[in-house]
């Protein structure tokens, strides 16, 4: 079989599709829709272009399972396989360890629950179940590409079964310094698990360096900082900086669609042609949503005419709704928006429009086209695709991007208006300045931003990573 015909096996906790009831159709008809979130947005186009199989956990809620038999909606252009986990294992693996411990610590934030050993055993069990599923659907020549922090033990488990397999792992979120990483009692197991891979990818140089630092201070692997390689159990593991991007052509084509243009114009009419400040996020405490709302409140407070000239549109997709910390965040955001709208509405003009649901891509892109300013303020974020989607959708040029310096994207989008989201006063001033800029004044920076985003196309990201995996000596 020629090399480029190796099957690609993508493995992630969440699968790429959910099924939802067809609006207005009686009798339980369902339609397939793409799940929201950065990982799916990045990898679905890659698998659709290349074919292969996507292995993911079976959704505990039967209605959300990616069922290939469902007709209509997004087309299925590759195979899917699911891993069934018992409710106890699934919850401890996903919520107990992945969401409550790994997610915050890898984002350099305190864990949202106390650290205890029980869920860790389930994390191991879940990773083992994924290993069995991958071995079943793949053969030793395939390229197995494991995704993210849910599956950090999987590479070593696959390596044990298939010593010559080609295994990659990609970290979609930040990697912290060793001082924080060491909080995890299972730090050795995690590093040993990851070193089962041939190639380990990170969005930025600082995450890759942090990872190498963890290896050198925890464990016994031989680390070569100048080559960014690690010797482990007789093999060489490469640590690479592989910044993810967005599907540039697909997004630009969509942005140029006359229906999207018409929708963008409608959005303008609906807000009485006020200038639009746009936020788009998965609901998560890492995204800095309250900070951004407080900053916009400052803008409204400091200038009475602002409410007649500006509107903020905040689009949020529900996420991890069964986790307490996320429910509390949702309440805080609801309260903040309610307070601000109560205080600063005038003559039928509401200062914050709030959309809390998963939007189809064409509607999202219409909002990107309509927005004068996008505000992306994570406290910490592996990369952040929203910033890139906004720039890609600005096909007519113009538009300002306010971007947190704590997003990985800030390393690549230096022409954005970079902000510290913890400093709400300065954030408010930056938003004020951005909203006051004319479209022409924003053009040079947006031109540079679009050029930067073009270089980071997601297809290129996948191709470069998979090429490395195929070239493994």
Q: Which residues would be at the binding site for ligand ADQ (CB under 6 A)?
A: 36-39, 41-42, 172-173, 244, 280-282, 315-317, 358-359, 364, 381-386, 389
Chain residue whose CB lies nearest ligand ADQ: 38
Complex with ligand ADQ: residue 104 or 307, whichever CB lies closer: 104
Are the C-beta atoms of 281 and 287 separated by less than 8 Å?
yes
Specify the DSSP element, H or E, that contains 194.
helix 187-194
Among residues 316 and 446, whose Cβ is nearest to ligand ADQ?
A: 316
CA dihedral 189, 192, 193, 196 (to 10 degrees): -170
Q: How far is the CB of 89 from ligand ADQ (least distance, A)?
A: 24
Q: Are strands 222-224 and 229-232 parallel, antiparallel or unpaired?
A: antiparallel
278 half-sphere exposure, CB direction, 13 A CA radius: 26
Taking the complex as a whole, the smallest distance from the CB of residue 239 to ligand ADQ amounts, in Å, to 17
Between 89 and 469, whose beta carbon lies closer to ligand ADQ? 469
CB of 405 to ligand ADQ, least distance (A): 14
* Nearer Cβ to ligand ADQ (186/465): 465
CB 34, min distance to ligand ADQ, A: 8
Task: In whole angstroms, give the CA distance from residue 217 to residue 274.
Answer: 54
CB 37, min distance to ligand ADQ, A: 4
Cα-based angle 183, 423, 181 (whole degrees, multiple of 5): 10
Smallest separation, CB 43 to ligand ADQ (Å): 9
Phi, psi of 122 (to 5 degrees): -70, -30
For residue 183, what are the contacts with CB-CB under 8 A and spacing of at least 6?
Answer: 105, 111, 115
Residue 381 CB, nearest approach to ligand ADQ (Å): 4
Residue 409 beta carbon to ligand ADQ: minimum distance, rounded to whole angstroms = 7
Q: Specify burial of residue 222 (Cβ count, 10 A radius: 0-12, 13-18, 19+).
A: exposed
Are the CB atoms for 296 and 73 separated by under 8 Å? no
Q: Smallest Cα–Cα separation from 324: which of 113, 88, 149? A: 113
C-alpha pair distances (Å), 133 with each of 150, 384, 389, 470: 15, 30, 33, 22
Q: Token pair for residue 223?
A: 């680390």
Measured from the CB atom, is 307 or 320 closer to ligand ADQ? 320
Q: How far is the CB of 110 from ligand ADQ (least distance, A)?
A: 18
User: 41 or 144, CB closer to ligand ADQ?
Assistant: 41
Q: Please state the separation of Cα 359 from the chain's center in Å.
A: 16
Nearer to ligand ADQ, 268 or 282 (CB): 282
Q: Are 53 and 42 in contact (CB under 8 A)?
A: no
Query: In this complex, which beta carbon is closest to ligand ADQ, that of residue 159 or of residue 404?
Result: 404
Give 230's strand partners: 223, 237
- To ligand ADQ, the closest distance from the beta carbon of 117 in angstroms equals 27
Helix axes 361-370, 248-256, angle to 10 degrees: 70
Please identify, using beta-carbon distances, which residue of 17 and 344 lies nearer to ligand ADQ: 17
Q: Which is nearer to ligand ADQ, 33 or 350 (CB)?
A: 33
């Amino acid at each position: 079989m020629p090399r480029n015909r190796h099957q690609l096996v993508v493995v992630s906790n969440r699968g790429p599709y959910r099924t939802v009831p067809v609006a207005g159709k009686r009798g339980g008809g369902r339609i397939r829709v793409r799940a929201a979130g950065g990982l799916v947005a990045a990898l679905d186009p890659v698998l659709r272009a290349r074919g292969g199989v996507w292995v993911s956990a079976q959704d505990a809620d039967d209605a959300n399972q990616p069922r290939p038999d469902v007709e209509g909606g997004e087309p299925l252009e590759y195979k899917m396989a699911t891993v069934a986990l018992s409710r106890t294992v699934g919850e401890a693996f996903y919520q107990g360890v992945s969401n409550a411990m790994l997610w915050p610590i890898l984002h350099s934030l305190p864990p949202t629950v106390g650290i205890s050993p029980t869920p860790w055993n389930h994390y191991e069990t879940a990773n083992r179940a994924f290993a069995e599923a991958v071995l079943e659907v793949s053969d030793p020549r395939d390229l197995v590409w494991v995704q993210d922090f849910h599956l950090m033990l999987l590479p070593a488990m696959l390596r044990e079964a298939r010593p010559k397999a080609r295994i990659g792992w990609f970290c979609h979120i930040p990697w912290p310094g060793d001082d924080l990483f060491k909080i995890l009692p299972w730090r050795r197991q995690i590093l040993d698990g990851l070193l089962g891979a041939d190639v380990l990818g990170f969005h930025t140089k600082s995450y890759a360096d942090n990872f190498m630092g963890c290896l050198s201070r925890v464990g016994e692997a031989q680390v070569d900082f100048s080559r960014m390689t690690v010797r482990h159990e007789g093999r060489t593991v490469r640590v690479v900086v592989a910044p993810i991007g967005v599907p540039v052509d697909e997004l630009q084509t969509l942005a140029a669609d006359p229906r999207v243009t018409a929708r963008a114009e409608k959005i303008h009419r609906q807000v009485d042609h006020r200038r639009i400040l746009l936020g788009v996020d998965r609901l998560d405490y890492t995204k800095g949503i309250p900070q951004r709302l407080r900053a916009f409140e400052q803008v409204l407070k400091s200038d009475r005419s602002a409410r007649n000239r500006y509107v903020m549109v905040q689009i949020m997709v529900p996420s991890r709704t069964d986790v307490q910390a996320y429910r509390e965040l949702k309440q805080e955001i609801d309260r903040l928006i309610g307070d601000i709208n109560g205080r600063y509405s005038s003559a039928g003009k509401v200062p914050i429009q709030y959309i809390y649901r998963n939007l189809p891509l064409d509607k999202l892109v219409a909002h990107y086209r309509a927005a004068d300013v996008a505000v992306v303020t994570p406290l910490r974020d592996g990369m952040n695709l929203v910033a890139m989607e906004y720039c890609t959708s600005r096909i007519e040029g113009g538009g300002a991007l306010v971007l947190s310096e704590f997003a990985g994207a800030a390393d690549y989008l230096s022409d954005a208006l970079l902000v510290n989201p913890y400093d709400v006063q300065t954030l408010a001033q930056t938003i004020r300045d951005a909203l006051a800029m004319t479209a022409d004044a924003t053009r040079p920076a947006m031109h540079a931003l679009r050029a930067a985003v073009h270089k980071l196309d997601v297809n290129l990201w996948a191709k470069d990573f998979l090429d490395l995996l195929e070239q493994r000596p």
